């Protein structure tokens, strides 16, 4: 006879005294320490009647997606992240990816470019072209996009402290190509707060850094109207070790700080909120990740409507890019990474992402090879064209388990936002070390689970095998470094020195005033000023940020 309710089923079927298999962890919980029951049923979502209270895709609070038809209308943008060695070599990789069916470009910059140093600066030693493409001047940007029409491609640039400079390079090149700037399609990451928390590629103190961000909001609102002016990122905090609930809470708390800064600069919420975008990771716990994306959408929609009183429905839509989890890739048994990436990508799609990058299987060992990149892109294409995952909007909606996780993650994330509000907002919480400490403690707890064997990592602490040597790993040609340095020196020598000097002096004046800096950045790059020269002017005006030591 069938059980009448969950309690009866538990009594009839589930005996907690029954010993688990020895290789299973002693308890069942998600990354956010949400304890998992053996079964979920309607009573686990008190107050949520299925299906009436779930709402519909494309309608507030967007739990089920920001578009009514989701992927029936169009697939997510398949945007593979790439950049290495030189502008020439990166251009070849972009052309290859576009030929393979990629639908958007995503540019990775090297560390000197991210931190505002030219390739021939002593601080750039050993880092030029290693984890991204070096862009010192407009000449590099011209080569990077040679043969690629910026009016016909959507470009995401993962850059933060130097975001206005790279955006200026891009706009200057688009103007030379004859593009309508108001129709350019793309995103600039421009999220400095998570740099203070997790990555460290900041340059200036928080206040002038926030000023640069609002300058970009204001400038693009009238000059580059279709551009996404920020991609507020939880990805890097999650890669540093935070939980899914913390990823939502800390990301949205940072977003609140950016909105408040823009409002303080005189902008109207509905003038810029619709161009905000977000960037999340998709990690290994499949169902928690699906629920995370749904919870983040619902929580942000409520914040924008109730806290900031937005009137335009688009302002409350949380649109996001997803990248599969780089930190989950293993050097041991690296082909397993193909499976990990496929599951993470599927979770992102079922969670309703707007664009997606899939990691390559060899990234724990080297920059991705061409063959590995193709497999990563094919993973997205298989999900899109063969799995049926995009045939229905929010196919996971109504799952007792997923809805329970969605509710719990939203509640936990709101708790973190409330605590950050109590501390005075995201900037104050970062300066006090609260957010960094929370991330570090979560990372430590996870590592202890791995070392105890409670958290299995296949091929690392379970089901191990003797390593096998791998061939065909990608390596950066060191000869390109010297060519890059030589080109930067030549640009400095051959430009109109008077125009370059005048532009840099104007930037220094603008930095010390309340004037919007973006038009002057464009003037500087069009005069072939280098990124190092531009950032040095701002270093002199604003000083440099020093790391907050967390104890």
Terminal-to-terminal C-alpha distance of the chain: 59
Per residue in 283-296, pLDDT tens?
999 999 999 999 99
Tokens 């193909």 map to which residue?
338
Contact by Cβ (8 Å): 387, 369? no
- Neighbouring C-beta atoms of residue 50, cutoff 10 Å: 13
> Distance between CA atoms of 495 and 326, rounded to whole angstroms?
41
Q: What ranges make up the beta strands (E) of 152-298?
A: 155-158, 186-188, 230-233, 276-282
Domain 52-452 -> CATH class = alpha beta
The predicted model gives 229-256 an average pLDDT of 97
- Please check the confidence at residue 14 and state whether its pLDDT lies above 80: no
DSSP states along 363-389: TTTSSPPHHHHHHHHHHHHHHHHTS-T
- Neighbouring C-beta atoms of residue 97, cutoff 10 Å: 23
Instruction: Name the average pLDDT for the chain.
Output: 92
Per residue in 44-71, pLDDT tens?
876 654 445 688 999 999 999 999 999 9
Task: Give 303's DSSP letter.
Answer: I
pLDDT band at 19 (very low <50, low <70, confident <90, very high): low
> Distance between CA atoms of 387 and 397, rounded to whole angstroms?
18
Q: Supply the pTM of this predicted model.
A: 0.92
Question: 204-213, 392-401, 403-412, 461-470: which has the minimum mean pLDDT?
Answer: 461-470
- What is the token pair recorded at 130? 């290693």
Helix then strand then coil, in percent of the chain rounded to 5, is: 50, 10, 40
Per residue in 485-529, pLDDT tens?
999 999 999 999 999 999 999 999 999 999 999 999 999 999 999
Q: Nearest CA to 315 among 327, 326, 303?
A: 303
The predicted model gives 276-283 an average pLDDT of 96
DSSP states along 2-14: --SSHHHHHHHH-
> Distance between CA atoms of 101 and 226, rounded to whole angstroms?
23
> Distance between CA atoms of 55 and 53, rounded to whole angstroms?
6
Tokens 């089920």 map to which residue?
64
Per residue in 358-414, pLDDT tens?
999 999 998 888 899 999 999 999 999 999 999 999 999 999 999 999 999 999 999
Contact by Cβ (8 Å): 349, 76? yes
> Distance between CA atoms of 242 and 436, rounded to whole angstroms?
9
């Amino acid at each position: 006879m069938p059980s009448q309710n969950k309690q009866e089923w538990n009594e009839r079927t589930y005996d907690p005294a029954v010993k688990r298999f020895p290789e299973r962890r002693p308890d069942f919980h998600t990354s956010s320490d949400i304890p998992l029951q053996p079964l979920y049923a309607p009573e686990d979502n008190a107050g949520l009647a299925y299906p009436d209270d779930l709402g519909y895709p494309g309608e507030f609070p967007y739990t089920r997606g920001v578009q009514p038809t989701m992927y029936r209308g169009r697939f997510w943008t398949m945007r593979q992240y790439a950049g290495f060695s030189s502008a020439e070599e990166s251009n070849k990789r972009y052309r290859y990816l576009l030929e393979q069916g990629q639908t958007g470009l995503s540019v990775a910059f090297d560390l000197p470019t991210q931190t505002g140093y030219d390739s021939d600066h002593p601080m750039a030693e050993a880092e030029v072209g290693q984890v991204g493409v070096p862009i010192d001047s407009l000449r590099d940007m011209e080569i990077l996009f040679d043969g690629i029409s910026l009016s016909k491609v959507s470009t995401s640039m993962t850059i933060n402290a130097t975001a206005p400079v790279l955006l200026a390079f891009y706009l200057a090149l688009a103007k030379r190509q004859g593009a309508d700037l108001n129709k350019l399609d793309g995103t600039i990451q421009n999220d400095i707060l998570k740099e203070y928390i997790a990555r460290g590629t900041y340059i200036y103190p928080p206040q002038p850094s926030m000023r640069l961000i609002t300058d970009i909001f204001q400038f693009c609102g009238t000059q580059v109207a279709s551009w996404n002016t920020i991609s507020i990122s939880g990805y890097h905090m999650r890669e540093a070790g935070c939980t899914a609930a913390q990823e939502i809470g800390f990301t949205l708390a940072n977003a609140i700080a950016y909105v408040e800064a823009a409002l303080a600069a005189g902008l109207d919420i509905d003038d810029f909120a619709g161009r905000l975008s977000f960037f999340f990771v998709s990690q290994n716990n499949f169902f928690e990740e699906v629920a995370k994306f749904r919870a983040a959408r619902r929580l942000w929609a409520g914040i924008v409507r109730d806290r900031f009183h937005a009137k335009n429905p688009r302002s409350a839509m949380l649109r996001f890019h997803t990248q599969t989890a780089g930190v989950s890739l293993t050097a041991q048994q690296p082909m397993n990474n193909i499976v990990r990436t496929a599951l993470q990508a599927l979770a992102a799609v079922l969670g309703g992402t707007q664009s997606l990058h899939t990691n390559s299987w060899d990234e724990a060992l080297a920059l991705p090879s061409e063959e590995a990149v193709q497999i990563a892109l094919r993973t997205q294409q298989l999900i899109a064209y063969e799995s049926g995952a995009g045939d229905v909007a929010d196919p996971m909606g109504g799952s007792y388990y997923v809805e329970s996780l969605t509710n719990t993650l939203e509640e936990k994330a709101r708790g973190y936002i409330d605590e950050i509000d109590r501390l005075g907002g995201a900037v104050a919480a970062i300066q006090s070390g609260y957010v960094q400490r929370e991330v570090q403690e979560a990372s430590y707890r996870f590592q202890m689970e791995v070392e105890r064997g409670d958290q299995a990592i296949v091929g690392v602490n379970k089901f191990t095998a003797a390593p096998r040597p791998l061939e065909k790993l990608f390596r950066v040609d060191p000869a390109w470094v010297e060519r890059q340095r030589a080109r930067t020196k030549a640009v400095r020598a051959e430009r109109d020195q008077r125009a370059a000097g005048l532009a840099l002096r104007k930037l220094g004046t603008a930095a010390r005033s309340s004037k919007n800096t973006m038009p002057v950045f464009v003037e500087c790059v069009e005069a072939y000023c280098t990124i190092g020269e531009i950032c040095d002017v701002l270093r002199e005006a604003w000083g440099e940020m020093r790391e907050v030591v967390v104890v």
